[in-house]
């Protein structure tokens, strides 16, 4: 099953969703700002992406700049920040079985569907 973690207000996320819609494949949409992700789910996503938690952070978000930038944070603290402030999570994230990408640019999604 293909899953997209989607923010409808984000242009790149909307472009990624459109690619999935045009693919003709079945997929699930999780609007992660409405269905907030828990720590376990976020850790699983990071594991499938094969990245460090810091690589999933949107570092230009005001909340990151005001509350976290310049601090030495553990991976667990970074994950907790994303759970508390889901706007910090890069988007879109698409997972297809054990493959995953951050759709920036959205065409990266085509590599896993």
Tell me, what CATH number does 82's domain have? 3.40.30.10
Residue 83 is predicted with a pLDDT of: 98
- Whether the model clears a pTM of 0.85, i.e. scores above it, the answer is yes
DSSP 74: -
pLDDT tens digits, 22-69: 999 999 999 999 999 999 999 999 999 999 999 999 999 999 999 999
Mean pLDDT, all residues of the chain: 97
Residue 10 is predicted with a pLDDT of: 95
Residue 94 is predicted with a pLDDT of: 98
Counting the structural domains of the chain, the total is 1
Q: Which residues contact 59 (CB under 8 A, 6 or more apart)?
A: 65, 69
Q: Which domain holds residue 59?
A: 2-111
Instruction: State the catalytic residues.
Output: 10
Residue 88 is predicted with a pLDDT of: 98
């Amino acid at each position: 099953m293909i899953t997209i973690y989607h923010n409808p207000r984000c242009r790149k996320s909307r472009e990624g969703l459109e690619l999935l819609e045009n693919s003709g494949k079945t997929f699930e949409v999780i609007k992660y700002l409405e269905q907030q992700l828990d720590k376990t789910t976020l850790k699983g996503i990071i594991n499938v992406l094969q990245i460090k938690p810091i690589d999933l952070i949107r570092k230009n978000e005001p909340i990151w700049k005001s509350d976290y930038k310049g601090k030495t944070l553990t991976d667990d603290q970074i994950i907790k920040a994303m759970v508390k402030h889901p706007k910090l999570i890069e988007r879109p994230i698409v997972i297809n079985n054990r493959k995953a990408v951050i759709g920036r640019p959205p065409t990266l999604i085509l590599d896993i569907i």
